[in-house]
Amino acid sequence: MIMDLCRENLAGMRDLLKDGEVSAVDLCRAHLNRIAERKSLNAFITIDGERAIDAARTADKRKQAGEETGLLAGLPLAVKDNICIDGQPTTCASKILDKFIPPYTATAVFNLLNAGAVIVGKTNLDEFGMGSSDEHSHFGPVKNPHDLSRTPGGSSGGSAAAVADFQVTAALGSDTGGSVRQPASFCGIVGLKPTYGAVSRYGLTAFASSFDQIGVLTRSVTDCEMVFRVICGRDEHDATSVRSIYPDDYSGDLKSAGRMRIGIPTEYFGEGLAPEVGAIVEKTIEELARDGRAIRKISLPHTKYAVAAYYIIANAEASANLARFDGVRYGTRVDSGQLSALYRESRSQGFGVEVKRRILLGTYVLSAGYRDEYYDRAQRVRTKIIGDFEDVFSSVDLLVCPTTPTTAFKLGEKLDDPLAMYLSDIYTVPASLAGLPALSVPCGTANGLPVGLQIIGPRFAESRLFSLATEIERLAGHRRTGV
């Protein structure tokens, strides 16, 4: 019964709660038990069972009293541990934030709580969101529930693994260059990176501020849309956020999904794409064409520069953002007599290898004599990439491509080769550079491992993404069941 409860999606759990077949407390306890049983995945850094049970009891009391409840009332969710919750540790999977407890709650989490969600804990990640495998964590690597010898992807691998393994119904992650979409693909779930500005970044620990977005990981497209509906919108605490223009009803987009013009970027189907992954994605595209959608090959000519431009700009922003972690105000502090030594020793002992690498690279590209050569040139490339997307969206409604060039790779396989690790984001970083919404949806399996298909849309076209993703989800389901 516990496992049956955990396997329900958000909509199914809402119905069970509404009909009184289970209580929010029952639901919460079932998921806490599942987390305990599957502790070996290392998906969570912090579990707050007592607080979660209290929140579930409150949800039950409100329902019994006939009070109006929120869209997510009584439903167990998780939050990536670089997103702040008042009174709960936020570690960013780093030693440097040891014992740090924020005095405020991120706006996205606040919106979840207002909708009645029950937050059961904080999930594991690559330190400060810097990684593509969840191996760069002070708390150890996360394992992929489909194959414990493989990575769940990163940096939101803890959130993705927890959702895929039925430990929670949904989870928040953060996506800077693919950190929601890549683990969603590797774990066989749905992952949304919203349009830049669609969701408030207040309370999200900054990695690269012009890229960072809080995203959603779920087991179905409907669930993803439900959580996004709750967290999107303007926030006075975040000047980059915008007034919500997400429709209350996207049935119009669902009805028009069959008439959508779909672009297939040729640059995403070349060298580096594993044949078995390409075959699954191309099969899905063929099925979309058979259902009457107009499929057009298009070109994004500056894609080949995207990874290089992203890692220059993102690391430059990281070097500035992480300067605040100095051992003086909070977190790890190594007293060394002199102030300069305190900074040096606190940061040397507090940061992991990958974070140090990125800080050094970011500082280098911003240094005198190199800024023009690297950082300014990368920003010009970013403008070209934005222009590529603007050009193609004048003739197509959405783009479809692989989310990742391979299925989940082995733990340790790319750990000593940073360039190979960075290239696993080759299909996700272009949308991040352009600030566009992108969603990964499962479209099949290759050698027993999930394959994700990525849908990219114009700014604030999330409803289009959900409508096409719903159709792809249906096609993938038919293939699995032989219908």
Q: pLDDT (tens digit, 9 = 90+) per residue, 50-90?
A: 999 999 999 999 999 988 889 999 999 999 999 999 999 99
Single out the catalytic residue among 23, 63, 80, 193. 80
Mean confidence (pLDDT) of the chain: 93
Residues 324 and 292 in one domain: no
The question of whether 394 is a catalytic residue gets the answer no
The question of whether 155 is a catalytic residue gets the answer yes
Residues 105 and 210 in one domain: yes
Q: Which of residues 372, 402, 422 is at a domain's end?
A: 372
In a domain, 207, yes or no: yes
Question: How far apart are alpha carbons 256 and 112 in whole angstroms?
Answer: 30
Residues 461 and 325 in one domain: no
| pLDDT value for 258 | 61
Residues 101 and 179 in one domain: yes
In a domain, 381, yes or no: no
Closest CA to 400 of 348, 337, 443: 443
Q: DSSP letter string over 144-185?
A: BTTBTTB---SSSHHHHHHHHTTSSSEEEEEESSSTTHHHHH
| pLDDT value for 481 | 37
The distance from CA 291 to its chain's CA centroid, rounded to whole angstroms, is: 30
Q: The domain that contains 436 carries what CATH number? A: 3.90.1300.10
* Mean pLDDT computed over 441-466: 97
Question: How far apart are alpha carbons 292 and 288 in whole angstroms?
Answer: 7
Residues 219 and 276 in one domain: yes
Strand order of the sheet with strand 261-265?
44-47, 118-123, 76-80, 170-175, 213-218, 190-193, 438-446, 449-456, 398-402, 261-265, 294-298
Question: In the structure, what pLDDT confidence band is assigned to residue 338 with cuts at 50, 70 and 90?
Answer: confident
Q: How many domains does the chain have?
A: 2
In a domain, 379, yes or no: no
Single out the catalytic residue among 179, 200, 241, 346. 179
The question of whether 80 is a catalytic residue gets the answer yes
Residues 85 and 234 in one domain: yes
Q: Is 62 exposed, middle or buried (0-12, 13-18, 19+ CB in 10 A)?
A: middle
Question: How far apart are alpha carbons 170 and 107 in whole angstroms?
Answer: 17
Using a cut of 0.85, tell me whether the model's pTM lies above it: yes
| pLDDT value for 205 | 98
The token pair that represents 470 in the structure block: 């719903």
In a domain, 58, yes or no: yes
Strands 44-47 vs 294-298: parallel, antiparallel or unpaired: unpaired
Residues 164 and 45 in one domain: yes
Evaluate whether 433 touches 379 at the Cβ level (below 8 Å): no
In a domain, 384, yes or no: no
Q: What is the pLDDT of residues 187-204, one digit of tens each?
A: 999 999 999 999 999 999
Q: Is the pLDDT of residue 15 over 50?
A: yes
Residues 166 and 234 in one domain: yes
* Mean pLDDT computed over 136-156: 98
In a domain, 425, yes or no: yes
Q: Which of residues 344, 372, 400 is at a domain's end?
A: 372
DSSP letter assigned to residue 124: -
In a domain, 383, yes or no: no
The token pair that represents 177 in the structure block: 């260059």
Q: What is the pLDDT of residues 368-391, one digit of tens each?
A: 888 989 999 999 999 999 999 999
Residues 241 and 121 in one domain: yes
Single out the catalytic residue among 23, 94, 132, 155. 155
Q: Which amino acid is at 468?
A: L
Residues 323 and 289 in one domain: no
Q: What is the pLDDT of residues 256-270, one digit of tens each?
A: 656 799 999 999 999
Cα atoms found within 13 Å of the Cα of residue 144, Cβ hemisphere only: 27
Residues of the domain holding 276 = 1-298+391-483
Residues 189 and 254 in one domain: yes
In a domain, 380, yes or no: no
Residues 241 and 261 in one domain: yes
